[in-house]
Structures are given as C-alpha cells and as structure tokens.
Structure 1
Amino acid sequence: MQFNIPQYQTKMKLSYNPIAATAPFLLLFFFFFFFFFNLSQHYAEAQPNTTGYPCNINQTYPCQTYAYYTATAPDFLDLAAIGDLFSVSRRMIAEASNISAANATLQANQSLFIPITCSCNNVNSTFGSISYAPLDYTILSGDTFYRVSTLKYGNLTSFESVMVVNPNAVPTTLQPGDHIKFPIFCKCPNSTDRRNLLITYPVQISDTPATIAAKFGTTPQALIDVNGNNIGPNSTIFVPVSRLPNITQPANSAPAPPPAVIVRNRDRKGAVIALAVLLGVCVALLVGVIGFCVYREKGRGKERGEYADVARRESEFGKIKESSVKDKEMEVNLMADVSDCLDKYKVYTMEQLWEATDGFNDNCLIQGSVYKGSIAGDMLAIKKLKWNAREELKILQKVNHGSLVKLEGFCIDPKEANCYLVYEYVENGSLHSWIHGDDRNDKLSWKTRLSIATDVANGLQYIHEHTRPRVVHKDIKSSNILLDAAMRAKIANFGLAKSGCNAITMHIVGTQGYISPEYLADGVVSTKMDVFAFGVVLLELITGQEAMDGEGRALWGKVAGAGVLKGSEERKAAQVREWMDPCLARESCSMESVINVMAVAVACLNNDPSKRPTMVDIVYALSKSNDLFFDVSDDGLSSSGPVTAR
C-alpha cells in the first residue's frame, strides 16, 4: 500500500489548525508561569516567624481571641476531639463557627474558629516574653514536636517554638504520657484599639493578602499593617477584624461529576502533541521553582541551625516509635506507672465503662470529657484523659476529706493510650452553673453561698495543712467546685495539682481570671496561689459575676480598681451593695455578713502573697462571719470589732 504524503498533508490543512488548537494551552502556560513566578517571589520575600511573637507593651494581656482551624481526617472530624485538643468545650467552638453543637461529625477541611486565651509569657533571657496561648498536650505513641505542631495543631504553632517554651524536653526521647506545652501563636490588640480581634491564621500555599482579606472581610493593607510583609506559605499571621466573621459552612451534598469531554478524532493527535509540549514546559518550570525553594530552605537551614536537624531526627524517631510500640507494651508501661495505686483503688475494665456510658454517648456527657454512668447500681462520673494519670493518682491517694470529690477507681485503655478516672457522682453539678447559668430558676441564697465558701475553705485547709508534702491545687475555680444533693461543696479536678510548695516553674497553666500575679509573672507555685483563686470564687459568690468578662477584664481587677472597702463604714456598706448580686439584695440578707466575706475576699487578693491570709485564718473568718469583722489593711487580714451595716 502506498501512502500519498502530499495528499495527506493537504487534508490535514483543511481539517486541523495547530495554532487554533494550541491557543488555549498557551494561555494556560502563561497563567502557570506567572503564578509560579509570583509565588516564588512572594516566598522569597516572606520570612515566617517560627520561634514566637514578642509581646508589645502597647498590647493588653490577657485577651480572648480565636484561631482559624481546619478539621482533618481521620482524628479531628468531630467537635469533641478538637475541643479536647484545644481544651475548650464543643459549644464554644460551635457558637464561634456558626454550626450546631449537636453536629458531632464534621467534614474534612471544614473551617472552624477556636476560642483561645492569649497571654504574655516570659520564656527566657534570649527570647524574652512571647505572646501565645499555652495548651497542655500529653504525648501519645508516635508523637513528635513536628508532627503535633503541623498535623494536629495545623501550623498554629511550630516545633521551634515548642522547643523554646519547653527547654527541658528532649524531642528525641519523648515518651507517652509526657506533658508538653504547645504555644498557639496569638496577639492581643493595642490598648488604644480594644475593639479589634486579631485572629490567628496559618497561611496556605495558595493564599495571597487579597484572598485572605476577602475571606475575613478586611483589607490587604490591614493585614500588612499588622504583619508586615511576612505573609508567606506556612507562616502564621494575625488577621484584624472588628468582629468574628460568619463562616459559611459547606453543604453535605456531593459535588456533581464533571461533564464529559468529547474530542473529535481528527483533532485528537494535534491536541495531544500540544498538551505534551505544554506539560513538558510546565514540569520544567515547576522543577525550577522547587529548586529555588530548596535553595531558599538551605539558606534558612543555616540560620535555623539545630532546629532543622532536630526536626529531621525527631521525625525519624517518631516513625520508629510508631512502628515499634505494641498495645501490650503500652498497657504494661501505663500500669507500671500507677502500680502503687492498685491496692487502694478499683481497676475497672473498658467493657464496664463502655456499657455504663452507652459507648460514651453524648446523652451521658456531663461536661468536657466527663461522662456519667452506672456500674453495679452506683452512679459514677467517668473522666476521660488523653494521658496516663499517674501524678493525679499519686496526689489523690494522699487525700481523704468530705470537701474533696472522692476517687473510686481508674481504667487503662492501651489501644488509645488513654486513662479513665472514675469518681463519685456529684448530683447538682458545678458552682459555676448555679451562679452563672441562664437556665437556673433557683438562685443560691446567701446562707447557701456562705456554706459553700466554708466547705471549699475547709477542703483547701486540709490539702494545705494536713498533707505531707503539702498539695497545691493550682486550678481552684467555680467550675471545679461541685455541689451534692444537700448543696454541700466538693473540690474536683486535681489534674494540675502539685505536691510541694515554693517551687518555680516556667510551665504556666490555669484559668485566666483566677491565676495569681506572682505565678503568672514568675511561675511561683505556693499555697498562696490557691488562696488568691479562692478570693476570686468569693467575689463570684458575692457579685454573681464571671471571673473574666467578655472584654477580657478580670473581676478581681475591677474590684481592686474600685477601691472596695476603703473609707468610712457607710462608704464600705454602700460599695458592697453596689457589687452585690441583685438576687441577694432582694433577699434582705445580713449586710454585715456580706461585708465580712467581701473583706476576706479582698485580703485573699493582696498582690503580695506573704500578706494573704492562710486557709486556717480564712476558715475561722468565715465560720465567724456573723459576729467578727476582719479589716483589710496593707498587712493583709486582721481582726477587729463587728461592723454595723448602715
């Protein structure tokens, strides 16, 4: 068979125009060229901050702000898991993110706003004070600083910053159960511009200032004013907004399949040739951009020194650990940690807890990660922890008092490296819900409030004076005070408690509004920090106000600024009436008693811990609140005659 080449060429000229066929691909080529060129230029100019953001004296700390987070498979596709990761409730995330708290399951890449409390934290002489929200994370099998920072916290922090704030932690020797502070990057607005929020946002590879500004309803210039030119891939920036934007959540319906593309036979060969050429050019261009980025990373690697090497080593170490640790080995290790508690507490099985809580059903959820369930006819509270509870068990086995929630037993889950603490069930919930809950028709009378305060004081006196070494609770707050059927108070949650006093720590934990100044500034751990927090609880009982208001102002700071109990007796009585919970004013309770308790609270809140009363003094003052008055002076709490309310 002969093939007539001239005739074939003539026919092709009539049926196929190469320029017309390749024009769309040429446009696509230029688009990719300019996209990668601009991306490489932007990447070259941006210098992400990896070790932390210094505090500014013009900024007001602490403040309530938010972090932009993306739900990821497989571990973080439900509100409960994300809430545990960030130590916040599902309701708080749901309200901020414009979704229903009842929707437990999220979609992959669904956007969320996570509420965080931003504070200024003194790290060391090299880095000074850094602005971040400290989150206590317990290492699981296979975890490394790098994996947790990137995969779990979604680049809201960095492994370099984790190393800075945990100087005593060795990344390559992490063990399941180790407590590590992960600093979530954040900033507070300037004191002259308290209306703005600064939302923490991890920049994605395709982001530009314009796209980020459009997402949050702000302007590119506003982003640059706050962050400078450091808006590059994998960096963390702060988006200024006047209010939290409304996230548009994705629909559940699956996307429609793309329309079928019909290619005519006579055009197929030319299109394939043009596409092959275009792809070859794009691949070459992409290789060039990647080479440039690698070159940039090598330069940055010299600056970052040991950080880059540690990241590589800890990543390799994490893979080795992940493949070598077996369930049985984990169970043996965890049980060894709590072996000295086996003779005192009952060891429950996972099957018992699963049956008691109906598979940890939301209907059994009390708050956070605490569930209620019945085992052998006894109603119990089951607290799920993401780590072994050795330290908490060591402290709880020392104490036994009617004003402390009783621990009944525990359970180890080796598959998930979890520990469950099983407590007595306290029927009436937390003091916080009784004082601040909107759905409470019954308000606490002054007599009941005074009884609650006395119960808590007795419990603190016990752990401060009758345990050796002394125990500091470190997280006294109204939500950690539970009320039983007779409305008697019990102190709960010893997860942050510490044996021993007058220690110094750089690991600042606790709840804003209750943290004592010396602990926040210098990390001083002593019984006087519990006394300070107890003073805040007394203010809540008297005023009915939250420890921290919506604008980030502490209740104790507002009371101190108002100069309560300064001046004449008439002025003191008038000031206390102004601060009293309105329902107490309607009750016509003893003003003398209220003034005396306010005096105890103010004394507990003395900036100088040495001038705060001991819990022995406080128990005595509260028990005699109807006939003794303790005057507040610069020397702390001192006794004088009874006050006559006018």
Structure 2
Amino acid sequence: MYGFLLLFFFLFTFNNQNISYAQEPPSISGYKCNPNQFNPCQTYVFFRAKGPEFLDLASIGDLFSVSRLMIANPSNISNPNTTLVNNQPLFVPISCSCNTVNATFGSISYAGLNYTFKPGDTMYGISTSKFGNLTTYQSVEAINPTVVPENIDIGQSIKFPIFCKCPNSTTQPRLGINGNNTKPLDTLFIPLTNLPNLPQNTSNTPPPPPPPTSLPPIVQENDRKGTIIGLAIALGLCGALLILFVGLFYKERKVKKEKYSDVERQKSQYLGSKKGSFDKDVEVNLMADVSECLDKYKMYKIEQLWEATDGFDEGCLIQGSVYKGTIDGEKFAIKKMKWNAREELKILQKVNHGNLVKLEGFCIDPKEANCYLVYEYVENGSLHSWLHGDKPEKLSWVTRLRIATDVANGLLYIHEHTRPRVVHKDIKSSNILLDANMRAKVANFGLAKSGCNAITMHIVGTQGYIAPEYLTDGIVSTKMDVFSFGVVLLELVSGKEAIDDEGKVLWAKVGEFSEGSEERKVRKLQEWMDESFLREELTMESVVNVMSVAISCVNKDPSRRPGMVEIVYALSKSIDLFSDVSEEGLSPRQVTAR
C-alpha cells in the first residue's frame, strides 16, 4: 500500500525569512541508502525561480538537464516561454538512485547533475545559491575527490548530488522518512500520490511605488535644484551618447553598404549578358539574413566558385551538394545550399576547434537564390567511406581509437564550451571527415541547434543514429549527440553499417554483450568485431573498454548516458591500454600484423 502512496516524491528546502540559521549548518552527509534494497525512481524537487539568472524555464532546464516542458507541465505553467517572477514555485523532475561515494560517506541517494563552471562560480555558491541548498558543497567534494575546490577551471564540468529518496518496503508512512531530528535547512521529503496544483502568478507587473511623503518647503526647494542639476547632467550625457551612437551607426552602415555593393558588382558580373530576371526581394532578404556575418568571413564571388568547380561539374562532386574546388591554388570544400544558411552561419561563428571543420567564407548567388559555404578541404574524406566503402585498406584499431577520441573532443567543445550549448543533431560516420594524418573533424552543422533541452515536432536526422527520446518526443539535448556518437563507436568496433539492408539498427544488438559470464561476453565480442582486427596485435581489453563506452552511450534512458567529459576520459584510457601508438601521423594500416 505504501509503495503506491509513496510513488511520487518532491523535496524542498525549509526556508523562513524570520528565522536566523547562522548557527544551524545543513546536513552534510546526504541520505544513506543500501544499493541492494534501493529501487531508482523518478521524483521532483521543489525549486524557486530567482533572478537574474533563473527567471525562465530554459535556464532552469539547463541547470537540471531537463526540457522546459518537463518543468512547465507539473508546475501548472501553460506557456513554457513565459518570464518567471522571483520565488515562483516550480516542480523539477530528477532521476533518483543510490550511489556509493566513499568509505566515509558510504552510499547516499541522489540525482547526479553535471554543472559547467562559469566566471565567478564557486562550489559553495552553486550548492547554496544556484541549487538552493538541494545539495551541500561537502557532498560535492566527496563525489568529486580529484577536484580541488580552489582550483576549478572555467568550463570544467563537475557533478552535483541533488539529494532525494525513493519508496521501498521499509519506508515509514507520512513524513517518517525524514527521521526525528530534522533541522532548519535540511531537505524534507513529502510522500504524495499526485503532485499538488501549484498556483502561479500570471502577472509580472511590479507593485506600484509608495506615495511620496511630505517634506518641508526648504527641503523641497533644495530637492528641486538638485533634480534640475541632475537632469541637466543626464541630458548632457545622453546627448554625447546619442552623437557617439549615430556616428557608429553610420560607420557600420557605410561598411555594410560597401560590402553590399560588392555583392551587387558580383551579381552584375555573373549575370553578364544572360537573359532573365531575378527576384529583388530574394536578394535583399538573403543579404539581411547574413548581414551579421559580413565582417567575420571572406565573401567569395560566384565567378570564383564557378571556375573553382568547373561550373559545379559532377566530376568535382564530393557527396550530396558538396563540391571540391581550387581557388588561388588552395583546395576547398564548397557546399551549395538552396535555402537560408543563416542558422548554420550563426553557429559556426562561435565554434573554433581543431576537431571541427573550419568555415573559411561564403558566397551569395542572387540569381539562383543560393548560398554557398566554403569550408577547409579535408583530404581523406568521410569515415563512412573508410568503414563501409570500397577502399582497399582497412583502418587499424589504433587509428579508430584516435578517430573516436577526436570526435569526442569536438563534441565536448560544442557541448561544454559554447554558450548557449550547441547540439549537432546529425552525428554519423559520413559527417566525420579525416585529414591527411587520419585525424577526425566533425562536419555539417546544417541541422545543429544553439541551445538544448527544447522540444520540437520537426524530427530530422539519419535513421540508425537518431536517439529514441528525440524520435518519439522531439526532445533536443546534448544526450542525443551522445547516443549518435555511441552508434559511431559501434561502427568503429564492428565495421558494420548503422542500419542493415533489412532495416535493423546496429545499436539494438548491444544487449547481447551484457549477458552471461565475462568469458562469454569477450567471445561474443570477438565474433562480432571487425574481422580485420584478427590480423593485428591488439589487446582485447582496449576493445572491451570502447565497447563499454558505446553501450552506455546508446542507453535508451538519456539520463543514464555519460557526458562527453566522461567519454573522453574513458577513450583516453583505452588508448593507454594499446601500447603500439605512434605520436606522428597515423596511416590506415599502422599496427603490426601477425
């Protein structure tokens, strides 16, 4: 009976502004649990919105790694894009489980949330202020034993344990689960069959200011003089700022006008004596969409791209709508787009990493309403062509390990070091390119989204790589990239396609490697992995490690998938296990064959 009564939990931090808690430190040990008797559950935390950082569901969703709708629905908020007010009550879903920390702490129940440090952040401040005492900095230190609190780098990701509890057969009724010694600032747990209906403030209008009090005439006269002087100074400053703003506006407008005129000249040269007309509105709209990028990238003329690709001849086609072209003796990859490239340009502006393909410039063709993106040329083509194409050489295991680590580092960068975070949404072996040294670069940001934890009804992607939660519910998060990366790892290990001729997806078979004894698992893996490895000297431990990472990445529950920080660390360990690694460029067959 109580199992049903305790099916839903929410927790909140005891708070009363009329009581001082200076002498009552919060519990630092967490809530003890037995992993053998603990059933994980989905539960809720009671969280209050607070300015200036957490007054919208998107920022709170990023903090707790959930979508806006996942907070809006249980919190009785009809519009997930609404602006919140200070102290607005919210229910935020978390996944609670029992985790072993160390010999001192033992096992405690919590939901582990990764937080990426920003300038000014401290472990104590995040625990008490941002997470509202739903955890303690002592517990954060305990589950991150290698982290030095005074030496945390900007961009470093650290796990924060959000305290929680789940029902079991020994749980006491009502509030008995809190024990008999609760103190102020302790976390309280309330068992419920259903979440209560939170009343929400629908008005964001601040209260009217209090009426002015009467002052003596002399004070009023002095106030008038002070007000006049203050107004005069303010008007003077406003005038100076207005002049400065107008000057900057006209200067920027002049620069953009010159660049726009250059596009006009390129258009006239390209059209030449060609007959026909083009839509003037289309041209203006295209220029407006990419105007913010004019100063950041080189603008190529359409004649340059036409000559570079022999008129976009099929002989220069790399794949899809991407052509190989040579401009001033340098090779480029030129992507022809029939639609607005503004979103892709916006995202590419803020990413700069060695494991991401670099954008060199772009070109607009007003006649055809096309936009061309000019990328660096990556010599050895796609990973897909090496794994599944007709190339005579096979990639060695050490090369595949390096490729996996390169891709993981590229994803780590866009997930953790861009603000807002970028979700690629189309990670697959054909979007991973290999340079002259067989090092990997992530390409094609055409489907990428800036910002995560969103819901979309427009599902796009490649079958065999799409995460289940995105396919069924349209949830966009960094964990969907993790899932797709896991499929790529399975391709690297097996040499098989992400989806076979019968339409069966590769990731659905990973359950076979979690059954039976360790010897059986290894034997099953040896039968399944790429047969070319049988001709190499490699350690199965390295392959097993990578396979373990892949299996965790394709977990159907996104909350159970690792983050890219953990993945990069695990893959680095797999490389360490492989002794025959050259520090120079890696060739497709570099490992000594037997």
Bigger radius of gyration among the two: 1
What TM-score comes out, normalization by structure 1 length? 0.46
What TM-score comes out, normalization by structure 2 length? 0.50
